Structure 1
Amino acid sequence: MTIAIRDVREHELDSVLALNNAAGPAILPLDAARLRRLYENAEYFRVAERGGALAGFLIGFGAQAQHDSVNFAWFRERYPDFFYIDRVAVASRRRGGGVGRALYADVQSYAELRYPQLACEVFLQPETDHALLFHGSFGFREVGQNVMTEHGIRAAMLMKPLCSYAWVRDTYGGMLPDLPWLQRPYAHLAAPPARLREAHA
């Protein structure tokens, strides 16, 4: 079955919440209020759909976002510009079927036109070894570790350079062409994040 990646819709937030909280130890649980804040502030919030059902989602923020994640703050303290994958989850029945790779391919195609690096973390727990392998196969490398004291979790902090960024920056500056496939995945927001408004002023 084909995997379709598209912007999340507001009425799907309950389904996203359920998917997040059923994902296991690789991702922190959410409540509805926290998910609503992510929905209202994320630069990128897209879902994967397969066979007409929600199969996964991915949420991301640019480096200048007002985001209260401790792992996001860790990257902010060390790197001036990057795109941060805040969380990603795939429905258990869809794992191993390419949904995660489809989401990562989509977020990379978004980020590499706008940011020099892609950042994320993987929790260092026995149950999450597969996540390290997945990210390594996608080109991410560990740049440090961070202990999330509130949760008692140590995370491997990963980054991936985005090779197309320099060419896009040098060729287009902050004015990407007005093409359908370059449209921002923030249709759920009343207004796009400031960085993106400026890029298209």
Structure 2
Amino acid sequence: MSIVVRDVREHELDSVLALNNAAGPAILPLDATRLRHFFDHAEYFRVAERDGTLAGFLIGMGSGSQHDSSNFRWFRERHPEFFYIDRIVVASRRRGGGVGRAFYADAQSYAEARYPHMACEVFLDGTNDPVLLFHGSFGFREVGQHVMEETGVRAAMLMKPLCSYTWVHETYGDALPNVPWLTRPRTPVAHVAPRATGTCP
């Protein structure tokens, strides 16, 4: 059956928490309070549904967020405007079935109308080559490395230029058309002048 990507619902937070904490060392654990904070403040918090059950989730936010992650701060100290993917989790039984690509396509569709870049990180624990390959095949490139002060884990810091942003921004500014796939941000976003950190064809 098809994959449906949609906004998370409040009653699903317990299921999202269980998915996150069963994901293994590639994803930092969460508690209910932290997850609730994401629900209340994250600009983008969506789940994937397949065969009537949750197959995963993705949480993201813009560079104007007050997010307290050291990885997010690393990007913000170096790049003025970007959409940051804090975490993406796919249920183990659904991995390899296209859920991750569906999420990234949906997140990019959202982000490219608002930000010139997407940013994320991948932990460098010696077993994440498939994850790095996945991101590389989706257009992400390493722009540095960072040791997280919270955990001591080293992460590859990845960015991807969103080539449609300049045209959308110059054509529509902040007045995007009112169409379903251009869902408005869940919280206000601060916009600053973009600065290129990658190239587009």
TM-score (norm 2): 0.92
- The one-letter amino acid paired with 1:52 is G
Matches within 5 A, 1:137-152: 137-152=137-152
**Structure 2: tracts of 5 or more residues without a match:** 192-201
- Aligned partners of 1:45 and 1:185 also within 8 Å: no
> Shift in Å at residue 163 of structure 1?
0.3
* Aligned twin of 1:155: 155
- Aligned partners of 2:70 and 2:150 also within 8 Å: no
Matches within 5 A, 1:25-174: 25-174=25-174
- The one-letter amino acid paired with 2:71 is N
* Aligned twin of 1:175: 175
CA deviations on 1:134-185 (whole Å, 9 max, x unpaired) are 0000000000000013212000000000000000011111110111221236
Q: Secondary structure at the residue paired with 1:19?
A: helix
**Structure 1: tracts of 5 or more residues without a match:** 187-191, 197-201
> Shift in Å at residue 194 of structure 1?
4.5
* Aligned twin of 1:199: none
- The one-letter amino acid paired with 1:103 is F
CA deviations on 1:47-101 (whole Å, 9 max, x unpaired) are 0000000001000010010110110000000000000000000000000000000
- Aligned partners of 1:26 and 1:127 also within 8 Å: no
Task: Compare the two structures and name the one with the higher helix fraction.
Answer: 1
TM-score (norm 1): 0.92
* Aligned twin of 1:10: 10
**Structure 1 residue runs of 4+, over 3 Å off?**
none
The separation in 2 between residues aligned to 1:128 and 1:38, in whole angstroms, is: 25
- Aligned partners of 2:62 and 2:189 also within 8 Å: no
The separation in 2 between residues aligned to 1:172 and 1:150, in whole angstroms, is: 40
- Aligned partners of 2:63 and 2:190 also within 8 Å: no
CA deviations on 1:11-53 (whole Å, 9 max, x unpaired) are 0000000000011111100000011111111000000000000
- Aligned partners of 1:25 and 1:127 also within 8 Å: no
What fraction of aligned residue pairs are identical, expressed as a percent?
74
The separation in 2 between residues aligned to 1:151 and 1:195, in whole angstroms, is: 29
Aligned residues: 191
- Aligned partners of 2:142 and 2:156 also within 8 Å: yes
- The one-letter amino acid paired with 1:151 is T
